[in-house]
Structure 1
Protein backbone atom coordinates (compact mmCIF):
# COMPACT_ATOMS: atom_id res chain seq x y z
CA UNK A 1 0.00 0.00 0.00
CA UNK A 2 2.83 2.40 0.89
CA UNK A 3 4.18 2.19 -2.70
CA UNK A 4 0.94 3.22 -4.38
CA UNK A 5 1.67 6.38 -6.33
CA UNK A 6 -1.74 7.98 -5.82
CA UNK A 7 -2.37 6.93 -2.23
CA UNK A 8 -3.65 9.76 -0.02
CA UNK A 9 -3.95 10.26 3.73
CA UNK A 10 -4.52 13.20 6.02
CA UNK A 11 -6.65 15.06 8.53
CA UNK A 12 -10.02 16.36 7.33
CA UNK A 13 -11.65 18.93 9.62
CA UNK A 14 -15.46 18.93 9.76
CA UNK A 15 -16.58 22.54 10.22
CA UNK A 16 -20.08 24.00 10.59
CA UNK A 17 -22.59 25.85 12.70
CA UNK A 18 -24.00 24.17 15.84
CA UNK A 19 -26.58 21.49 14.99
CA UNK A 20 -25.65 21.41 11.29
CA UNK A 21 -25.30 17.62 11.43
CA UNK A 22 -21.49 17.31 11.60
CA UNK A 23 -21.39 14.47 14.14
CA UNK A 24 -24.17 12.52 12.43
CA UNK A 25 -22.31 12.85 9.14
CA UNK A 26 -19.02 11.57 10.55
CA UNK A 27 -20.70 8.62 12.31
CA UNK A 28 -22.41 7.78 9.02
CA UNK A 29 -19.20 7.98 6.98
CA UNK A 30 -17.18 5.72 9.30
CA UNK A 31 -20.19 3.48 10.04
CA UNK A 32 -19.63 3.67 13.77
CA UNK A 33 -21.08 5.90 16.48
CA UNK A 34 -18.20 7.73 18.14
CA UNK A 35 -19.58 11.29 18.23
CA UNK A 36 -22.69 11.87 20.30
CA UNK A 37 -25.78 13.16 18.53
CA UNK A 38 -28.79 14.95 20.01
CA UNK A 39 -31.46 17.34 18.73
CA UNK A 40 -29.93 20.13 20.83
CA UNK A 41 -27.27 22.42 19.35
CA UNK A 42 -23.69 22.60 20.64
CA UNK A 43 -23.52 18.98 21.80
CA UNK A 44 -19.94 18.38 20.60
CA UNK A 45 -17.43 19.96 23.00
CA UNK A 46 -14.06 18.68 21.91
CA UNK A 47 -12.53 17.31 18.75
CA UNK A 48 -13.22 13.65 18.04
CA UNK A 49 -11.21 11.64 15.51
CA UNK A 50 -12.88 9.11 13.23
CA UNK A 51 -11.01 6.95 10.72
CA UNK A 52 -12.01 5.65 7.31
CA UNK A 53 -9.54 3.47 5.42
CA UNK A 54 -9.79 2.10 1.89
CA UNK A 55 -7.45 1.17 -0.97
CA UNK A 56 -7.26 4.75 -2.26
CA UNK A 57 -6.38 6.33 1.07
CA UNK A 58 -7.15 7.03 4.71
CA UNK A 59 -9.34 9.88 5.93
CA UNK A 60 -8.81 11.04 9.51
CA UNK A 61 -11.98 12.99 10.24
CA UNK A 62 -11.83 15.62 12.98
CA UNK A 63 -15.32 16.42 14.27
CA UNK A 64 -15.15 19.97 15.65
CA UNK A 65 -17.56 21.80 17.96
CA UNK A 66 -19.99 24.11 16.18
CA UNK A 67 -18.72 27.62 15.57
CA UNK A 68 -19.64 30.01 18.41
CA UNK A 69 -18.41 33.49 19.17
CA UNK A 70 -17.33 33.94 22.77
CA UNK A 71 -14.33 35.18 24.72
CA UNK A 72 -14.93 33.56 28.10
CA UNK A 73 -15.71 30.31 29.87
CA UNK A 74 -16.73 27.06 28.22
CA UNK A 75 -17.95 28.74 25.02
CA UNK A 76 -14.51 30.28 24.58
CA UNK A 77 -13.02 26.77 24.77
CA UNK A 78 -15.50 25.56 22.13
CA UNK A 79 -14.60 28.44 19.80
CA UNK A 80 -10.85 27.85 20.22
CA UNK A 81 -11.30 24.11 19.72
CA UNK A 82 -13.05 24.69 16.38
CA UNK A 83 -10.36 27.17 15.28
CA UNK A 84 -7.62 24.70 16.28
CA UNK A 85 -9.25 21.99 14.17
CA UNK A 86 -9.06 24.26 11.12
CA UNK A 87 -5.37 24.90 11.78
CA UNK A 88 -4.58 21.21 12.39
CA UNK A 89 -6.34 19.89 9.28
CA UNK A 90 -4.88 19.17 5.85
CA UNK A 91 -8.25 19.83 4.23
CA UNK A 92 -11.75 20.86 5.32
CA UNK A 93 -15.34 19.75 4.84
CA UNK A 94 -17.84 22.55 5.39
CA UNK A 95 -21.15 21.14 6.65
CA UNK A 96 -23.94 23.56 5.74
CA UNK A 97 -27.52 22.91 6.79
CA UNK A 98 -30.41 24.05 4.62
CA UNK A 99 -32.40 24.44 7.87
CA UNK A 100 -30.23 27.49 8.67
CA UNK A 101 -32.55 30.50 8.28
CA UNK A 102 -29.78 33.03 7.80
CA UNK A 103 -27.62 32.77 4.68
CA UNK A 104 -25.05 34.84 6.55
CA UNK A 105 -24.53 31.99 9.04
CA UNK A 106 -23.52 29.61 6.27
CA UNK A 107 -21.44 32.36 4.67
CA UNK A 108 -19.52 32.65 7.96
CA UNK A 109 -18.47 29.01 7.68
CA UNK A 110 -17.49 29.40 4.03
CA UNK A 111 -15.44 32.49 4.91
CA UNK A 112 -13.60 30.55 7.63
CA UNK A 113 -12.64 27.66 5.37
CA UNK A 114 -11.64 29.86 2.43
CA UNK A 115 -9.55 32.07 4.71
CA UNK A 116 -7.60 28.97 5.78
CA UNK A 117 -6.41 28.55 2.16
CA UNK A 118 -6.76 24.79 2.53
CA UNK A 119 -8.49 22.45 0.05
CA UNK A 120 -12.16 22.16 0.90
CA UNK A 121 -15.57 21.12 -0.28
CA UNK A 122 -19.09 21.45 1.12
CA UNK A 123 -21.81 19.03 2.14
CA UNK A 124 -25.36 20.34 2.39
CA UNK A 125 -27.28 18.54 5.14
CA UNK A 126 -30.91 18.06 6.18
CA UNK A 127 -32.02 18.04 2.54
CA UNK A 128 -35.03 15.92 3.56
CA UNK A 129 -36.72 19.10 4.87
CA UNK A 130 -39.16 19.55 1.98
CA UNK A 131 -40.32 22.98 3.17
CA UNK A 132 -36.71 24.18 2.86
CA UNK A 133 -36.00 22.54 -0.52
CA UNK A 134 -35.83 25.90 -2.32
CA UNK A 135 -32.70 26.68 -0.32
CA UNK A 136 -30.68 23.85 -1.85
CA UNK A 137 -30.07 25.68 -5.14
CA UNK A 138 -29.45 28.98 -3.33
CA UNK A 139 -26.87 27.35 -1.09
CA UNK A 140 -25.32 25.46 -3.99
CA UNK A 141 -24.87 28.75 -5.87
CA UNK A 142 -23.30 30.35 -2.80
CA UNK A 143 -20.81 27.50 -2.51
CA UNK A 144 -20.01 27.60 -6.24
CA UNK A 145 -19.49 31.36 -6.04
CA UNK A 146 -16.88 30.73 -3.36
CA UNK A 147 -14.96 28.30 -5.53
CA UNK A 148 -16.00 24.85 -4.36
CA UNK A 149 -18.28 21.95 -5.14
CA UNK A 150 -21.27 20.87 -3.06
CA UNK A 151 -22.79 17.50 -2.25
CA UNK A 152 -26.28 17.13 -0.79
CA UNK A 153 -27.22 14.55 1.82
CA UNK A 154 -29.95 13.63 4.28
CA UNK A 155 -28.70 11.21 6.93
CA UNK A 156 -32.29 9.99 7.35
CA UNK A 157 -32.65 9.05 3.68
CA UNK A 158 -29.10 8.37 2.58
CA UNK A 159 -27.72 5.65 0.32
CA UNK A 160 -24.42 3.81 -0.10
CA UNK A 161 -23.93 5.83 -3.28
CA UNK A 162 -24.23 9.09 -1.31
CA UNK A 163 -21.66 7.82 1.17
CA UNK A 164 -19.23 6.82 -1.59
CA UNK A 165 -19.55 10.21 -3.32
CA UNK A 166 -18.67 12.03 -0.09
CA UNK A 167 -15.79 9.70 0.77
CA UNK A 168 -14.38 10.03 -2.77
CA UNK A 169 -14.42 13.82 -2.35
CA UNK A 170 -12.77 13.52 1.06
CA UNK A 171 -9.87 11.53 -0.37
CA UNK A 172 -9.62 13.84 -3.39
CA UNK A 173 -8.80 16.90 -1.24
CA UNK A 174 -6.22 15.13 0.95
CA UNK A 175 -2.46 15.20 0.31
CA UNK A 176 -0.53 12.27 -1.14
CA UNK A 177 1.07 9.96 1.41
CA UNK A 178 3.36 6.97 1.47
CA UNK A 179 1.27 5.13 4.05
CA UNK A 180 -1.81 5.48 6.29
CA UNK A 181 -1.45 7.62 9.40
CA UNK A 182 -3.13 5.05 11.66
CA UNK A 183 -3.74 1.32 11.74
CA UNK A 184 -6.31 0.67 9.01
CA UNK A 185 -8.31 -1.61 11.34
CA UNK A 186 -9.14 1.30 13.67
CA UNK A 187 -12.23 3.50 13.34
CA UNK A 188 -11.25 6.00 16.07
CA UNK A 189 -8.36 7.01 18.30
CA UNK A 190 -10.70 7.53 21.26
CA UNK A 191 -10.26 5.23 24.28
CA UNK A 192 -13.16 3.35 25.87
CA UNK A 193 -13.30 5.63 28.92
CA UNK A 194 -13.71 8.74 26.76
CA UNK A 195 -16.46 7.13 24.71
CA UNK A 196 -18.28 6.07 27.91
CA UNK A 197 -18.17 9.66 29.20
CA UNK A 198 -19.56 10.95 25.91
CA UNK A 199 -22.38 8.39 25.94
CA UNK A 200 -23.42 9.48 29.44
CA UNK A 201 -23.27 13.14 28.43
CA UNK A 202 -25.45 12.35 25.42
CA UNK A 203 -28.10 10.75 27.65
CA UNK A 204 -27.98 13.82 29.90
CA UNK A 205 -28.62 16.05 26.87
CA UNK A 206 -31.52 13.87 25.77
CA UNK A 207 -33.13 13.73 29.23
CA UNK A 208 -32.57 17.23 30.62
CA UNK A 209 -33.87 20.57 29.39
CA UNK A 210 -33.05 24.28 29.29
CA UNK A 211 -29.56 25.32 30.42
CA UNK A 212 -28.93 22.25 32.60
CA UNK A 213 -27.16 20.00 30.01
CA UNK A 214 -25.06 22.93 28.79
CA UNK A 215 -23.73 23.56 32.31
CA UNK A 216 -22.96 19.89 32.90
CA UNK A 217 -19.83 17.77 32.49
CA UNK A 218 -19.00 14.10 32.95
CA UNK A 219 -15.88 12.76 34.69
CA UNK A 220 -14.89 9.14 35.33
CA UNK A 221 -13.96 8.50 38.95
CA UNK A 222 -13.03 4.83 38.53
CA UNK A 223 -13.00 2.53 35.51
CA UNK A 224 -12.24 -1.16 36.01
CA UNK A 225 -12.70 -2.91 32.70
CA UNK A 226 -11.37 -6.21 34.07
CA UNK A 227 -13.55 -6.39 37.20
CA UNK A 228 -15.51 -9.60 37.84
CA UNK A 229 -18.22 -10.57 37.16
CA UNK A 230 -18.51 -7.47 34.92
CA UNK A 231 -16.77 -4.15 34.18
CA UNK A 232 -17.36 -1.53 36.89
CA UNK A 233 -17.63 2.17 36.04
CA UNK A 234 -18.05 5.00 38.54
CA UNK A 235 -18.85 8.39 37.03
CA UNK A 236 -19.48 11.88 38.39
CA UNK A 237 -22.00 14.12 36.64
CA UNK A 238 -20.67 17.61 37.37
CA UNK A 239 -23.22 20.42 37.51
CA UNK A 240 -22.68 24.15 37.92
CA UNK A 241 -25.51 25.05 40.28
CA UNK A 242 -27.01 23.51 43.42
CA UNK A 243 -30.48 24.21 42.01
CA UNK A 244 -29.73 21.86 39.10
CA UNK A 245 -29.17 18.84 41.36
CA UNK A 246 -32.86 17.95 41.93
CA UNK A 247 -33.47 18.46 38.21
CA UNK A 248 -30.73 16.02 37.20
CA UNK A 249 -31.86 13.47 39.79
CA UNK A 250 -35.55 13.97 39.02
CA UNK A 251 -38.68 13.15 40.98
CA UNK A 252 -38.22 9.77 42.62
CA UNK A 253 -34.77 9.68 40.94
CA UNK A 254 -36.55 9.22 37.59
CA UNK A 255 -34.09 11.26 35.51
CA UNK A 256 -30.87 9.80 36.89
CA UNK A 257 -32.32 6.27 36.56
CA UNK A 258 -33.28 6.96 32.95
CA UNK A 259 -29.83 8.39 32.14
CA UNK A 260 -28.14 5.41 33.80
CA UNK A 261 -30.31 2.76 32.15
CA UNK A 262 -29.98 4.19 28.64
CA UNK A 263 -26.24 4.81 29.02
CA UNK A 264 -25.67 1.32 30.44
CA UNK A 265 -27.42 -0.31 27.49
CA UNK A 266 -25.33 1.60 24.95
CA UNK A 267 -22.08 1.08 26.87
CA UNK A 268 -22.68 -2.69 27.01
CA UNK A 269 -23.23 -2.72 23.26
CA UNK A 270 -20.13 -0.60 22.62
CA UNK A 271 -17.94 -2.77 24.90
CA UNK A 272 -19.54 -5.97 23.56
CA UNK A 273 -20.33 -7.33 27.02
CA UNK A 274 -23.52 -8.74 28.55
CA UNK A 275 -23.44 -6.56 31.66
CA UNK A 276 -21.81 -3.40 33.01
CA UNK A 277 -22.03 -2.00 36.53
CA UNK A 278 -22.52 1.76 36.16
CA UNK A 279 -22.77 4.09 39.15
CA UNK A 280 -23.63 7.76 38.60
CA UNK A 281 -23.02 10.42 41.23
CA UNK A 282 -24.20 14.05 40.89
CA UNK A 283 -21.59 16.56 42.09
CA UNK A 284 -21.97 20.35 42.35
CA UNK A 285 -19.02 22.56 41.35
CA UNK A 286 -20.40 26.06 41.35
CA UNK A 287 -20.04 27.77 37.96
CA UNK A 288 -17.32 25.34 36.85
CA UNK A 289 -17.96 26.40 33.23
CA UNK A 290 -16.66 29.91 34.04
CA UNK A 291 -13.69 28.79 36.14
CA UNK A 292 -10.40 28.14 34.31
CA UNK A 293 -9.07 25.78 37.00
CA UNK A 294 -12.26 23.71 37.13
CA UNK A 295 -12.41 23.58 33.32
CA UNK A 296 -8.81 22.36 33.19
CA UNK A 297 -9.62 19.56 35.66
CA UNK A 298 -12.38 18.50 33.27
CA UNK A 299 -9.96 18.66 30.29
CA UNK A 300 -11.48 21.77 28.75
CA UNK A 301 -8.13 23.51 28.32
CA UNK A 302 -7.79 26.52 26.04
CA UNK A 303 -4.64 26.42 23.92
CA UNK A 304 -3.33 29.99 23.82
CA UNK A 305 -0.62 29.34 21.24
Structure 2
Protein backbone atom coordinates (compact mmCIF):
# COMPACT_ATOMS: atom_id res chain seq x y z
CA UNK A 1 0.00 0.00 0.00
CA UNK A 2 1.38 3.40 -1.01
CA UNK A 3 2.35 5.74 1.82
CA UNK A 4 0.39 8.95 1.34
CA UNK A 5 1.90 10.70 4.36
CA UNK A 6 3.49 13.95 3.22
CA UNK A 7 6.49 15.43 4.92
CA UNK A 8 5.88 18.95 6.26
CA UNK A 9 7.42 21.45 3.85
CA UNK A 10 10.54 23.37 4.85
CA UNK A 11 10.74 27.02 3.88
CA UNK A 12 13.62 29.46 3.63
CA UNK A 13 14.17 32.84 2.04
CA UNK A 14 14.95 36.53 2.30
CA UNK A 15 12.35 38.70 4.03
CA UNK A 16 12.64 42.47 3.60
CA UNK A 17 11.46 44.85 6.34
CA UNK A 18 10.13 47.94 4.57
CA UNK A 19 8.87 51.10 6.26
CA UNK A 20 9.16 54.82 6.75
CA UNK A 21 12.03 56.22 8.88
CA UNK A 22 11.53 55.52 12.60
CA UNK A 23 8.71 53.03 11.97
CA UNK A 24 10.28 50.50 14.36
CA UNK A 25 11.90 48.15 11.82
CA UNK A 26 15.15 47.71 13.75
CA UNK A 27 13.38 47.11 17.08
CA UNK A 28 11.17 44.53 15.38
CA UNK A 29 14.17 42.78 13.82
CA UNK A 30 16.06 42.57 17.13
CA UNK A 31 12.94 41.22 18.85
CA UNK A 32 12.34 38.51 16.24
CA UNK A 33 15.98 37.41 16.13
CA UNK A 34 16.34 37.70 19.94
CA UNK A 35 19.70 39.37 19.45
CA UNK A 36 20.78 42.95 18.82
CA UNK A 37 21.78 43.04 15.17
CA UNK A 38 20.45 46.48 14.22
CA UNK A 39 20.98 49.71 16.14
CA UNK A 40 17.95 51.43 17.65
CA UNK A 41 17.49 55.09 18.60
CA UNK A 42 14.54 57.44 18.95
CA UNK A 43 15.77 59.42 15.94
CA UNK A 44 14.59 58.64 12.39
CA UNK A 45 16.89 57.40 9.63
CA UNK A 46 19.24 55.52 11.96
CA UNK A 47 19.67 52.52 9.64
CA UNK A 48 21.96 53.41 6.74
CA UNK A 49 22.64 50.07 5.09
CA UNK A 50 20.76 46.81 4.93
CA UNK A 51 21.28 44.66 8.03
CA UNK A 52 20.57 40.93 8.16
CA UNK A 53 19.24 38.84 11.00
CA UNK A 54 18.54 35.10 11.00
CA UNK A 55 15.80 33.03 12.60
CA UNK A 56 16.09 29.25 12.24
CA UNK A 57 13.43 26.72 13.21
CA UNK A 58 12.42 23.17 12.31
CA UNK A 59 9.90 24.55 9.83
CA UNK A 60 12.21 26.98 8.08
CA UNK A 61 14.76 29.77 8.12
CA UNK A 62 14.04 33.49 7.76
CA UNK A 63 16.79 35.79 6.53
CA UNK A 64 15.53 39.19 7.66
CA UNK A 65 16.81 42.26 5.83
CA UNK A 66 16.35 45.56 7.67
CA UNK A 67 16.24 48.24 4.98
CA UNK A 68 16.86 51.96 5.56
CA UNK A 69 13.68 53.99 5.97
CA UNK A 70 12.23 55.19 2.70
CA UNK A 71 13.65 58.52 1.54
CA UNK A 72 13.61 60.44 -1.73
CA UNK A 73 16.78 62.15 -2.92
CA UNK A 74 18.91 62.86 -5.97
CA UNK A 75 22.37 63.16 -4.43
CA UNK A 76 24.79 62.10 -1.72
CA UNK A 77 24.08 59.77 1.19
CA UNK A 78 20.30 59.90 0.78
CA UNK A 79 20.64 58.53 -2.76
CA UNK A 80 22.38 55.49 -1.29
CA UNK A 81 19.68 55.09 1.38
CA UNK A 82 16.91 55.26 -1.22
CA UNK A 83 18.61 52.70 -3.45
CA UNK A 84 19.26 50.36 -0.50
CA UNK A 85 15.55 50.33 0.38
CA UNK A 86 14.44 49.63 -3.19
CA UNK A 87 17.17 46.98 -3.66
CA UNK A 88 15.85 45.16 -0.59
CA UNK A 89 12.38 45.06 -2.16
CA UNK A 90 13.81 43.67 -5.41
CA UNK A 91 16.07 41.06 -3.79
CA UNK A 92 13.64 39.72 -1.15
CA UNK A 93 11.46 36.64 -1.56
CA UNK A 94 8.75 38.17 0.64
CA UNK A 95 8.16 41.47 2.44
CA UNK A 96 6.99 42.90 5.74
CA UNK A 97 5.33 46.31 5.58
CA UNK A 98 6.26 47.89 8.93
CA UNK A 99 3.63 50.52 9.72
CA UNK A 100 3.92 52.78 12.76
CA UNK A 101 0.68 53.61 14.53
CA UNK A 102 2.10 57.03 15.45
CA UNK A 103 2.69 58.01 11.82
CA UNK A 104 0.54 61.13 11.37
CA UNK A 105 0.39 60.84 7.59
CA UNK A 106 -1.87 58.06 6.29
CA UNK A 107 -0.34 58.67 2.86
CA UNK A 108 3.12 57.69 4.12
CA UNK A 109 1.85 54.33 5.37
CA UNK A 110 -0.10 53.84 2.15
CA UNK A 111 3.11 54.56 0.23
CA UNK A 112 4.71 51.52 1.89
CA UNK A 113 1.67 49.35 1.16
CA UNK A 114 1.71 50.47 -2.47
CA UNK A 115 5.37 49.47 -2.79
CA UNK A 116 4.90 45.99 -1.33
CA UNK A 117 1.78 45.25 -3.40
CA UNK A 118 3.42 46.48 -6.61
CA UNK A 119 6.32 44.09 -5.96
CA UNK A 120 3.93 41.16 -6.58
CA UNK A 121 5.65 39.31 -3.72
CA UNK A 122 4.00 37.70 -0.69
CA UNK A 123 3.73 40.20 2.15
CA UNK A 124 2.27 40.83 5.56
CA UNK A 125 1.92 44.06 7.56
CA UNK A 126 3.19 44.51 11.11
CA UNK A 127 1.70 47.50 12.94
CA UNK A 128 4.18 48.80 15.52
CA UNK A 129 4.14 51.02 18.62
CA UNK A 130 0.62 49.99 19.64
CA UNK A 131 1.63 50.49 23.29
CA UNK A 132 1.54 54.26 22.81
CA UNK A 133 -1.33 56.08 24.51
CA UNK A 134 -4.73 56.26 22.78
CA UNK A 135 -3.75 54.25 19.69
CA UNK A 136 -6.55 51.65 19.54
CA UNK A 137 -8.56 53.74 17.06
CA UNK A 138 -5.50 54.23 14.84
CA UNK A 139 -4.75 50.51 14.93
CA UNK A 140 -8.24 49.73 13.64
CA UNK A 141 -7.88 52.33 10.88
CA UNK A 142 -4.50 50.90 9.84
CA UNK A 143 -5.84 47.35 9.81
CA UNK A 144 -8.66 48.55 7.55
CA UNK A 145 -6.18 50.18 5.16
CA UNK A 146 -4.10 46.99 5.05
CA UNK A 147 -7.22 44.97 4.19
CA UNK A 148 -8.03 47.38 1.34
CA UNK A 149 -4.59 46.57 -0.09
CA UNK A 150 -5.41 42.86 0.16
CA UNK A 151 -3.14 42.07 3.07
CA UNK A 152 -3.20 40.78 6.64
CA UNK A 153 -1.73 42.52 9.66
CA UNK A 154 -0.34 41.87 13.14
CA UNK A 155 -0.14 44.61 15.80
CA UNK A 156 2.79 44.67 18.24
CA UNK A 157 4.20 46.86 21.00
CA UNK A 158 7.69 48.30 20.59
CA UNK A 159 8.52 48.41 24.30
CA UNK A 160 6.62 45.43 25.70
CA UNK A 161 7.33 42.66 23.20
CA UNK A 162 5.88 39.33 24.29
CA UNK A 163 7.11 35.83 23.46
CA UNK A 164 3.68 34.70 22.27
CA UNK A 165 3.61 37.66 19.85
CA UNK A 166 7.04 36.63 18.60
CA UNK A 167 5.95 33.03 18.01
CA UNK A 168 2.80 34.15 16.20
CA UNK A 169 4.66 36.56 13.92
CA UNK A 170 7.47 34.10 13.09
CA UNK A 171 5.01 31.31 12.25
CA UNK A 172 3.14 33.59 9.84
CA UNK A 173 6.32 34.95 8.27
CA UNK A 174 7.76 31.50 7.59
CA UNK A 175 4.56 30.58 5.74
CA UNK A 176 5.03 33.31 3.11
CA UNK A 177 8.56 32.16 2.23
CA UNK A 178 9.32 29.79 -0.67
CA UNK A 179 9.84 26.05 -0.17
CA UNK A 180 13.46 25.02 0.26
CA UNK A 181 15.46 21.85 0.76
CA UNK A 182 17.74 23.28 3.43
CA UNK A 183 18.63 26.46 5.35
CA UNK A 184 20.39 29.23 3.45
CA UNK A 185 22.82 29.83 6.33
CA UNK A 186 24.21 27.92 9.29
CA UNK A 187 21.26 27.63 11.75
CA UNK A 188 23.61 28.54 14.61
CA UNK A 189 24.11 32.06 13.24
CA UNK A 190 21.87 35.01 14.13
CA UNK A 191 23.37 37.45 11.60
CA UNK A 192 25.61 37.52 8.54
CA UNK A 193 27.22 40.78 9.70
CA UNK A 194 30.90 40.66 10.67
CA UNK A 195 32.27 41.89 14.01
CA UNK A 196 33.92 44.91 12.40
CA UNK A 197 30.66 46.09 10.86
CA UNK A 198 28.69 45.50 14.06
CA UNK A 199 31.31 47.45 16.01
CA UNK A 200 30.95 50.46 13.71
CA UNK A 201 27.19 50.36 14.16
CA UNK A 202 27.46 50.15 17.96
CA UNK A 203 29.70 53.22 18.10
CA UNK A 204 27.36 55.13 15.78
CA UNK A 205 24.39 54.19 17.97
CA UNK A 206 26.15 55.54 21.06
CA UNK A 207 26.85 58.79 19.21
CA UNK A 208 23.12 59.09 18.54
CA UNK A 209 22.32 58.42 22.19
CA UNK A 210 24.91 60.71 23.78
CA UNK A 211 24.68 63.68 21.39
CA UNK A 212 21.50 65.73 21.60
CA UNK A 213 22.06 67.77 18.45
CA UNK A 214 21.58 67.32 14.72
CA UNK A 215 25.18 66.15 14.43
CA UNK A 216 24.39 62.39 14.30
CA UNK A 217 22.77 62.85 10.88
CA UNK A 218 26.04 64.33 9.61
CA UNK A 219 28.20 61.81 11.44
CA UNK A 220 29.79 58.55 10.33
CA UNK A 221 32.00 55.94 11.99
CA UNK A 222 34.90 54.18 10.32
CA UNK A 223 37.10 51.49 11.87
CA UNK A 224 40.69 52.50 11.15
CA UNK A 225 42.25 49.35 12.63
CA UNK A 226 40.80 46.21 14.23
CA UNK A 227 43.43 43.90 15.69
CA UNK A 228 41.69 40.83 17.10
CA UNK A 229 45.04 39.12 17.79
CA UNK A 230 46.45 41.91 19.97
CA UNK A 231 47.47 41.07 23.53
CA UNK A 232 46.21 41.17 26.20
CA UNK A 233 42.97 42.01 24.37
CA UNK A 234 41.69 43.03 20.90
CA UNK A 235 42.48 46.63 19.98
CA UNK A 236 40.03 48.77 18.03
CA UNK A 237 40.82 52.20 16.58
CA UNK A 238 37.84 54.08 15.14
CA UNK A 239 37.24 57.50 13.61
CA UNK A 240 34.07 59.48 14.26
CA UNK A 241 33.68 61.62 11.16
CA UNK A 242 31.84 64.95 11.27
CA UNK A 243 31.12 67.36 8.44
CA UNK A 244 32.12 70.70 10.01
CA UNK A 245 34.95 72.03 12.16
CA UNK A 246 32.35 73.46 14.56
CA UNK A 247 31.00 69.95 15.21
CA UNK A 248 34.28 68.50 16.48
CA UNK A 249 34.37 70.27 19.89
CA UNK A 250 30.74 69.24 20.47
CA UNK A 251 31.57 65.55 19.90
CA UNK A 252 34.74 65.78 22.00
CA UNK A 253 33.08 67.78 24.81
CA UNK A 254 34.60 69.82 27.62
CA UNK A 255 37.59 67.96 28.98
CA UNK A 256 36.81 65.20 26.44
CA UNK A 257 33.75 64.31 28.54
CA UNK A 258 31.45 63.52 25.59
CA UNK A 259 33.89 61.37 23.62
CA UNK A 260 34.72 59.49 26.83
CA UNK A 261 31.03 58.77 27.43
CA UNK A 262 30.60 57.54 23.85
CA UNK A 263 33.69 55.37 24.27
CA UNK A 264 32.61 53.88 27.60
CA UNK A 265 29.13 53.00 26.38
CA UNK A 266 30.48 51.61 23.10
CA UNK A 267 33.17 49.51 24.77
CA UNK A 268 30.68 48.00 27.22
CA UNK A 269 28.42 46.80 24.40
CA UNK A 270 31.29 45.66 22.16
CA UNK A 271 32.70 43.59 25.03
CA UNK A 272 29.28 42.02 25.62
CA UNK A 273 29.06 41.15 21.92
CA UNK A 274 32.59 39.71 21.72
CA UNK A 275 32.57 38.06 25.14
CA UNK A 276 35.92 39.56 26.16
CA UNK A 277 37.62 42.81 27.16
CA UNK A 278 38.63 45.18 24.35
CA UNK A 279 40.74 48.30 23.98
CA UNK A 280 38.81 51.03 22.14
CA UNK A 281 40.32 54.31 20.95
CA UNK A 282 38.08 56.94 19.34
CA UNK A 283 39.28 59.86 17.25
CA UNK A 284 37.17 62.70 15.82
CA UNK A 285 37.96 63.74 12.24
CA UNK A 286 36.48 66.47 10.04
CA UNK A 287 35.60 65.94 6.37
CA UNK A 288 33.66 68.89 5.06
CA UNK A 289 30.22 67.80 3.79
CA UNK A 290 31.35 64.16 3.61
CA UNK A 291 27.77 63.01 2.93
CA UNK A 292 27.93 64.73 -0.49
CA UNK A 293 31.50 63.63 -1.33
CA UNK A 294 31.57 60.64 -3.71
CA UNK A 295 35.06 59.50 -2.68
CA UNK A 296 34.27 59.62 1.04
CA UNK A 297 30.94 57.85 0.51
CA UNK A 298 32.84 55.14 -1.38
CA UNK A 299 35.34 54.76 1.48
CA UNK A 300 32.41 54.37 3.90
CA UNK A 301 30.80 51.84 1.53
CA UNK A 302 27.77 54.08 0.96
CA UNK A 303 28.07 53.42 -2.76
CA UNK A 304 25.46 53.62 -5.48
CA UNK A 305 26.67 51.53 -8.41
CA UNK A 306 26.06 53.08 -11.80
CA UNK A 307 23.81 50.92 -13.92
TM-score above 0.5, yes or no: yes
Give the one of 202, 205, 209 matched to 1:202.
205
Where does residue 134 of structure 2 map in the other structure?
131
Tell me, yes or no, if the aligned pair for 1:216 and 1:239 is still in contact at 8 Å.
Answer: yes
Task: Give the CA deviation at 1:4.
Answer: 5.3
Give the one of 172, 176, 199 matched to 1:173.
176
Task: Give the CA deviation at 1:96.
Answer: 0.2
Runs (5+) with no aligned partner, structure 2: 1-5
C-alpha separation between the residues in 2 aligned to 1:218 and 1:157? 31
C-alpha separation between the residues in 2 aligned to 1:133 and 1:102? 17
SS of match in other structure, 2:250: helix
Q: Which moved more, 1:125-134 or 1:199-208?
A: 125-134
Tell me, yes or no, if the aligned pair for 2:31 and 2:161 is still in contact at 8 Å.
Answer: no
Summarize the alignment of residues 1-305 of structure 1 with structure 2, pairs less than 5 Å apart. 6-273=9-276, 275-305=277-307
C-alpha separation between the residues in 2 aligned to 1:304 and 1:44? 22
Task: Give the CA deviation at 1:303.
Answer: 2.9
Q: Which moved more, 1:55-64 or 1:148-157?
A: 148-157
Runs (5+) with no aligned partner, structure 1: none
CA-to-partner distance for each residue in 1:58-89, whole Å, 9 max, x for gaps? 00000000001111111111111000000010
SS of match in other structure, 2:201: helix
Distance change in 2, residues 1:4/1:216 (3 Å): farther
Tell me, yes or no, if the aligned pair for 1:10 and 1:60 is still in contact at 8 Å.
Answer: yes
C-alpha separation between the residues in 2 aligned to 1:4 and 1:30? 26
Task: Give the CA deviation at 1:152.
Answer: 0.4
C-alpha separation between the residues in 2 aligned to 1:47 and 1:39? 19
Aligned alpha-carbon RMSD (Å): 1.1
C-alpha separation between the residues in 2 aligned to 1:175 and 1:102? 33
Task: Give the CA deviation at 1:156.
Answer: 1.6
CA-to-partner distance for each residue in 1:255-284, whole Å, 9 max, x for gaps? 1011000000000100001x2110001111
Q: Which runs of 4+ in 1 moved over 4 A?
A: none
Tell me, yes or no, if the aligned pair for 1:80 and 1:303 is still in contact at 8 Å.
Answer: no
Number of corresponding residues: 302
TM-score by length of 1: 0.97
C-alpha separation between the residues in 1 aligned to 2:291 and 2:239? 15
C-alpha separation between the residues in 2 aligned to 1:245 and 1:29? 37
TM-score by length of 2: 0.96
CA-to-partner distance for each residue in 1:134-184, whole Å, 9 max, x for gaps? 100000000011001000000322211100111011101100011110001
Tell me, yes or no, if the aligned pair for 1:233 and 1:279 is still in contact at 8 Å.
Answer: yes
CA-to-partner distance for each residue in 1:179-225, whole Å, 9 max, x for gaps? 11000100000110110000000000111133210111111111111
